[in-house]
Each structure stands twice: as C-alpha cells, then as structure tokens.
C-alpha cells in the first residue's frame, strides 16, 4: 500500500480547507489532511462504469448519485461548517436524504460510499476513511481495487460496525456484488473489470 501525502503542520477544519488553492485537492479525516493525486486511467474507467450502473439503477428512485470531486462534510455534532474536521470526496456516493445535499457540498454522511483504490491512497481509504465512514454511519462502503480486480462490500451492522466485508472477484463463483442497501442492485466484477 502507498503512503499518503499528508500536510504535517497541524490539524485542520473545513474553514482552513476552504481557503486552500482551488488547484490542490485535499481530504480531511479528523483534522488530518491528505493530498489527493490525479486518478489513473484504470481508476477513471472503473468509476465511469460504476457511475453508469448506479445512475441507471437510481434513475426513478429517491436516492441520488454523485461522483468526485464533490465535498462531503462529516460533522461530529452540530458544529458550524467551518469547524467540521472531516471533509472527504468519495469517488462515488449515494445520498437518499436529499436535505444533506447543499449547493456547494453535502453535509452529513452518504448512505453509500465507494472508494476506488490507487497506490497512493490505498492505506488512507482502507484505514482512516474506513473508520471515519463507519463512525459517521455510512450504511454501505464499497472498496474497489482496479489493479487487483476485486470489490469488497462492507455493510454497517446493528452494532454500528462494518465487520469483515464480502469480497467479490471476476473468477470466483460468488457472482455479482449485491447491495444490501439498494434492493435488487448488483455489479458483476467480470463486467466492471473487463478491459
């Protein structure tokens, strides 16, 4: 796993984040800032396929899908936006509570978040963001690896934990990766990772 490029001069909030140059991409988890690298071609291919499948499925439903870059502020309570210390940009996110989606960003955890791994963000996505999404109550978290060609689907249990997750790969007999949150929704890894 790659090591994230961290801003090492303190802890930050959305107030700090909003003042940084627009040509830099960052995320904050519990005040720690990590630089976001430009995505690879493989990352973008997978994201485009995921977006099509999610958008088609949600077309006539109350939930809405977004893709990065789109800021999601995850507050710990009722603090002002400028004081929120977790600002993430999931590669793909689904909001069913449309009141969370504001003009410039969303405030509150999405119901479903998808992160597509890259060498520089793999550790961040599978550790820091995993724990933050779990704590925020993201009901379903999909981790997608375009290089290893696997999908791991985590569903929040009744104790508020993701647990081990369910692994799906193109060459295993498990079949498509289903969503517990979105009834009837699934993605076939063989199709997702086809060149």
HSE (CB half, 13 Å, CA atoms) of 66? Answer: 24
Hey, where are the domains in the chain?
Answer: 6-192
Mean pLDDT of 157-184: 92
Mean pLDDT of 114-131: 92
For residue 102, pLDDT beyond 50? yes
What percent of the chain clears pLDDT 90, i.e. is strictly above it? 84
Q: Angle 151-154-158 (CA atoms, 0-180°, nearest 5)?
A: 165
For residue 26, pLDDT beyond 70? yes
pLDDT at 98: 93
Mean pLDDT of 59-86: 96
Count Cβ neighbours within 10 Å for each residue of 85-112 and write b for 16 or more, e otherwise: bbbbbbbbbbbbeeebbeeebbbbbbbb
Element (H, E) at 132: helix 129-136
Lowest mean pLDDT among 67-81, 87-101, 154-168, 169-183: 169-183
pLDDT at 6: 54
CATH architecture of 6-192: Alpha-Beta Complex (3.90)
């Amino acid at each position: 796993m790659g090591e994230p490029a961290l801003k090492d001069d303190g802890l930050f909030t959305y107030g700090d984040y909003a003042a940084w140059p627009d040509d830099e991409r960052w995320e904050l988890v519990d005040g720690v800032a990590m630089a976001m690298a430009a995505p690879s071609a493989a990352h973008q291919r997978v994201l485009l396929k995921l977006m099509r499948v999610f958008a088609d499925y949600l077309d006539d439903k109350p939930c809405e899908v977004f893709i990065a870059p789109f800021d999601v502020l995850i507050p710990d309570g009722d603090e002002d936006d400028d004081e929120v210390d977790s600002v993430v940009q999931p590669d793909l996110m689904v909001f069913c509570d449309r009141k969370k989606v504001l003009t410039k960003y969303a405030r509150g955890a999405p119901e479903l978040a998808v992160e597509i791994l890259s060498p520089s963000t793999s550790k961040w996505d599978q550790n820091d963001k995993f724990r933050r999404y779990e704590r925020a109550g993201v009901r379903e978290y999909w981790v997608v690896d375009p290089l290893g060609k696997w999908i791991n689907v985590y569903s929040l249990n009744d104790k508020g934990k993701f647990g081990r997750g369910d692994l799906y790969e193109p060459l295993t007999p498990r079949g498509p990766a289903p969503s517990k949150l979105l009834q009837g929704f699934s993605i076939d890894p063989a199709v997702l990772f086809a060149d």
